[in-house]
Amino acid sequence: MNARSVGRDDTPVEYEVRVKGHLDSRWAAWFEGLSLTNEHDGTTVIRTRNVDQAALHGLLQKLQDLALPLLAITQIGTTDSQPASNTRIFTPKKDHTMKTTTQTPTTGHVRMDPLRKTAMVAGILYLVTFVSSIPALFLISPVLNDPHYITGPGADSTVILGCLLDLVNAVSAVGTAVALFPVIKRQNEGIALGFVTARMFEAAVIVIGVVSLLGVVTLRQNGGADPALVPVGQALVAVRGWTFILGPSLVPGVSGLLLGYLMYRSGLVPRVIPLLGLIGGPLLLSSTISTMFGINQGISLWSGLATLPIFVWELSLGVWMAVKGFRPSPITTGQVRTI
């Protein structure tokens, strides 16, 4: 839309800007001084009062930053050169989404905006944590379930592969937090930093468990069938057991509360998704802490029910961000730019 489409003078007038979808009350701060009305047809009307063309273009730029589909712009009232009327000055034939990506003349392809790229990277990393951590549990099971593994024939290659997958899981856990931090810190920087710290702690504890299992493999390979090594091997396996409780069992409950809060308040994803994290976080924490004090068993109905919401929360969050990206949100204003 150019200057001619909204008139030639800069006399302040009133406009109605209609966009697709409903904007709830959390958007009010981003359209300060403007009236937002949700219509029954699924659209939102933004009404201005006595603004000139510069202010109107500023509003349109903000809508472009938020990638909101623009449906119509209507001039209301009078100007020095026009009588009182409601003049439709912009009506696209189809829903006109104010896109933030442009076609690069030199390459001839459309580049992905940074927010979409951030969401996709974070989502893929979340999915990588599932792809790596679940097979790792089965691959390292020989050393976990056999008290005399250190003096037996062993399955060292399988255990080492499982340890490598656990390392991939640790790196991916940190990657999810690092990828999301520039976005979620706009909602609450302190809580966002807490989420990053929690993921780093989880990764560090996972690495300690990996090192303990690799120590068992090394002792088995170098010590042969020495029975004196059995208690040492069992001690190293016990270390790994505690790292599993303090890392992948305890920390996801904390992360679910921190990131769940940020996602729920910001509206970056459908709120039913972070609601799972807010519900599952306390459940998982209670289950894990009770296991630490011997009240609960690591494998029990209580543990399974407490783990399920967090499992679904992280999986659905990863899938949504990888496939859909972020939903328009006030905290992303000014971040959506073409690079």
Within a 13 Å sphere around the CA of 323, how many CA atoms are in the beta-carbon half? Answer: 7
Mean pLDDT across the chain: 83
Q: Which residues contact 123 (CB under 8 A, 6 or more apart)?
A: 317, 318, 319, 320, 321, 322, 323
Ranking 149-158, 198-207, 243-252, 262-271 by mean pLDDT, the lowest is 149-158
d(CA 251, CA 276): 16
- The string of DSSP letters for 197-250 reads HHHHHHHHHHHHHHHHHHHHHHHHHHHTT-TTHHHHHHHHHHHHHHHHIIIIIT
d(CA 88, CA 85): 10
Q: Residue range 114-133: average pLDDT?
A: 96
Tokens matching residue 227:
């029975």
Q: Give 95 or 117, the one with higher predicted confidence.
A: 117
Q: Residue range 25-43: average pLDDT?
A: 72
Tokens matching residue 93:
């034939």
Q: Residue range 241-269: average pLDDT?
A: 96
Q: Report pLDDT for 79.
A: 47
Pairing type for strands 96-97 and 85-90 reads unpaired
d(CA 135, CA 121): 22
Tokens matching residue 196:
């990053």
